[in-house]
Amino acid sequence: MRFTSKPMQQWLRATLVMSMAAAVLVGCSGNSRTHKPAELVKVSNQFDLSPVWSANIGSSESFNFHPAVAGDAVYAASNRGNLAKLDLKTGNKVWEVSVPDRLSIGPGSDGRVTAVVTTKGTVYAYDDTGKALWNVNVGSEVLTEPVVAGGVVVIRALDNRFIGLDELTGARKWIYQRQQTALSLRVGYGMLAIGNEVIVTGFAGGRFGMIALANGGLVWESPISFPKGFSEIERLNDVTAKPSMQGEIICAVSYQGRVGCGQARTGNLIWFKDYSSYTGTAQSAEMVFSSNEKSYVTAFATKDGTQIWENTQLTFRDVGESLAVGRVLLVGDAEGYVHALDQSNGEMLARIRHDSSPISAAPISAGGLILIQSQGGKLAAYSPK
């Protein structure tokens, strides 16, 4: 698609509204609260997360940094430009490098090449010994973590371009341009890599789709929600969070829109219902989970969207992205607590204090461990029991 710039007056107006809209999402980082968070209820732990190791990576400031796991290693970064490879089992640092500029988002890695993006839009790539391979400026701010898969580093720029770079040389292999919308949220839009063939991601305007890694072609695109309301902020309904996938079913949720699930191969929705979330979805075999702006955590039946339960005990605690693992749903909050909810009924089963800073990134299950990184920079592995 061809990108046509908007008149300056419209651009300035959209920028102003985007800034106002971004303020709506500040609560997810725990930096500014307009409501008093719910008091923690007493929990008799029926589920245990035993500490295995921890490391200080460095603060992500107000950004939402996720670690990346590839093989038996964890790759993590900080806003100040620290990038480290750690052994998954022990937490020992294999190598650590200093990127020449501050970073706006966490790393992407396939175990051979690790890529990070600076606040100035420069992509830096390193091999698996920590040696610098190449750097390329993409000419735009980047708030979405790169995906490294199928020999390609995929960069999603804030100006709606998807750029495929050769992972070994940094040469541009393809570009996919989304049409610029009049208004969209200034946040990262998560990308879910499926094998070495495609990525699934959300778009502005309540849509999500699948893009081929080989050539950047759009495989399919589906609407999950539609704008409604009168003001431009009311009509925002972007799919910003990374979609989730379990088996052949893929689920997504939009801000001020809907949550729904459909067939991964075609994108055809099986069901959808009104819901709003900027923390995305997590899935088990039979349920999909999400949390709204009030930090109500809700479970829906994957097959038809029936609401199974809703937990309101974490109201206004600014819960982050969640992970469904085993029989529990794990979710962090703005005070550094990690809560374990029973997937079957939403009962609070356990709680640990990971850190005193917000946990907005989803926990990761890898190698029998649960990895959690806080905005304060603590990365730790826990053994679930």
CB-CB contact of 378 with 58 (8 Å): no
pTM: 0.89
| Rounded Cα gap, residues 289 and 327, in angstroms | 13
pLDDT digits (tens, 9 = 90+) for 49-80: 999 999 999 999 888 899 999 999 999 999 99
| Rounded Cα gap, residues 321 and 331, in angstroms | 6
Domain boundaries, the chain: 65-187
| Rounded Cα gap, residues 33 and 24, in angstroms | 10
Q: Which CATH number fits domain 65-187: 3.50.50.60, 2.40.50.140, 1.10.1060.10, 2.40.128.630?
A: 2.40.128.630
pLDDT digits (tens, 9 = 90+) for 243-266: 999 999 999 999 888 999 999 999
Per-residue pLDDT of the chain (385 residues; tens, 9 = 90+): 333 333 333 333 333 333 334 434 433 444 445 789 999 999 999 999 999 999 999 999 888 899 999 999 999 999 999 999 999 999 999 999 999 999 999 999 999 999 999 999 999 999 999 999 999 999 999 999 999 999 999 999 988 899 999 999 999 999 999 876 655 566 788 999 999 999 999 998 889 999 999 999 999 999 998 877 666 666 667 888 899 999 999 999 998 889 999 999 999 999 999 999 989 999 999 999 999 999 999 999 999 999 999 999 999 999 999 999 999 999 999 999 999 999 999 999 999 999 999 999 999 999 999 999 999 999 999 999 8
| Rounded Cα gap, residues 360 and 190, in angstroms | 13
